[in-house]
Homo-oligomer: A and B are copies of this chain.
Amino acid sequence: MAEFALHPRLAADTAFVADWDLSRVLLMNDARYPWIVLVPRRAGLGEWHDLADADAAILTREIRRAGSGLKKLTGAGKINTAALGNQVPQLHLHVIARHAGDAAWPGPVWGHGAARPYETRPRDEFISRLRMGL
């Protein structure tokens, strides 16, 4: 069985936060939005329905954990959750805290302008908060 390896594009765009039971938890390197990416650590997944039933149940728990935690940490008005994967074929879930008036509000964040990379210190501080708060 092939081993899980993070897609290079996801690796380039994110920072490591944690490994949960199923998913690698990543922070998207875009300071415009508090934006988490969950990547199930299984090889060869492209679609949600490619997951085994037991893994799908775990992923659902992890999505809810990420969403509720991110909402509490950031005071977000809305959580956006999505599995798109039109450009990166490895199954990954976006969990994004949205605020009225943020850069793309009320539209979706994808394809909206260029990412604004974090400075090192705010990024590391936010990762610490995510590790404790999610």
Chain A residues close to B by CB (< 8 Å): 46-49, 51, 56-57, 59-61, 63-65, 67-68, 71, 78-87, 98, 105-108, 110-111
Min CB gap A45→B, angstroms: 12
Complex-state Cα separation, A129 to B75, whole angstroms: 43
Q: Does B84 lie within 8 Å of A80, measured CB to CB?
A: yes
Main secondary structure of the interface of A (DSSP, over half): mixed
Min CB gap A6→B, angstroms: 19
Given A48-B79, A68-B49, A84:B108 Cβ within 8 A = yes
Q: Does B106 lie within 8 Å of A87, measured CB to CB?
A: yes
Question: How many identical subunits does the complex contain?
Answer: 2
A47 to B, closest residue via Cβ: B79
Q: Does B107 lie within 8 Å of A86, measured CB to CB?
A: yes
Min CB gap A2→B, angstroms: 21
Min CB gap A106→B, angstroms: 4
Complex-state Cα separation, A60 to B110, whole angstroms: 23
Q: Which residues on B sit within 8 Å (CB–CB) of A59?
A: 60
Q: Which residues on B sit within 8 Å (CB–CB) of A81?
A: 48, 82-84
Given A106-B87, A107-B111, A63:B80 Cβ within 8 A = no
In addition to A79-B83, A86-B98, 8 A-B residue pairs with Cβ atoms within 8 Å of each other are A47-B71, A47-B78, A49-B64, A78-B85, A80-B83, A81-B83, A86-B106, A107-B111
